[in-house]
């Protein structure tokens, strides 16, 4: 009985510490949290521009549009880098915006039917992913949080 009470007390203490830390992070006076984005930085292999853009137009864009229509993502943006910082630099960024981190829960279960419909089968989808390795390399893949900077108090 004493051990059970000790475990319950420890659990409540841990929950209180976690909750106060999460609240402190969420209630910053500097900004209000917004949506999140997954950022992919892609290096197009030399001489493979045509293959990359054809794949993006035939597969990437229709799938992103279907995700958007289904409410899975808020939006997506494709950006072309116009400067180079070296041989292994990225050329194109694909930024996919989600409402919040909760939108990532069960993501595969919501996106699989869309990609299966687009490609026709899981084998064709996997083959397309393997084919991409011939014309692109992902050099960066990370999440960022959008923030809205708060006004200074008057």
Give the pLDDT of residue 21. 47
What φ, ψ does residue 105 adopt, rounded to 5°? -65, 125
The model carries a pTM of 0.78
Query: Residue 44's Cα: distance from chain center in Å?
Result: 20
Contacts of 34 (CB under 8 A, 6+ apart): 145, 146, 147, 148
- Six token digits for residue 138: 């992902």
145: left (phi over 0), alpha (psi -120 to 50) or beta: beta
Give the pLDDT of residue 15. 54
Alpha helices by DSSP H, the chain = 2-26, 49-55, 61-69, 107-119, 122-132
Taking only the tens place, the pLDDT of each residue in 38-74 is 999 999 999 999 999 999 999 999 999 999 999 999 9
Give the pLDDT of residue 13. 54
**Architecture in CATH for domain 31-149:** 2-Layer Sandwich (3.30)
Give the pLDDT of residue 20. 45
Domain ranges of the chain: 1-30, 31-149
pLDDT tops 50 at residue 76: yes
> With contact defined as beta carbons under 8 Å apart, do 135 and 47 qualify?
no
Give the pLDDT of residue 16. 55
Contacts of 80 (CB under 8 A, 6+ apart): 91, 92
């Amino acid at each position: 009985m004493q051990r059970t009470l000790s475990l319950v007390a420890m659990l409540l203490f841990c929950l209180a510490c976690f909750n106060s830390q999460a609240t402190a992070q969420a209630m910053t006076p500097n900004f209000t949290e917004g949506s999140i984005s997954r950022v992919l930085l892609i290096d197009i292999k030399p001489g493979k521009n045509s293959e990359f853009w054809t794949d993006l137009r035939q597969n990437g864009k229709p799938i992103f549009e279907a995700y958007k229509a289904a409410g899975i993502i808020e939006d997506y943006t494709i950006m072309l880098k116009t400067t180079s910082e070296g041989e292994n630099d990225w050329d194109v960024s694909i930024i996919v915006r989600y409402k919040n981190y909760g939108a990532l829960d069960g993501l595969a279960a919501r996106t699989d039917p869309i990609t299966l419909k687009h490609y026709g089968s899981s084998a064709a989808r996997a083959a397309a992913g393997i084919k991409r390795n011939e014309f692109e390399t992902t050099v960066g893949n990370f999440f960022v949080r959008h923030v809205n900077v708060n006004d200074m108090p008057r």
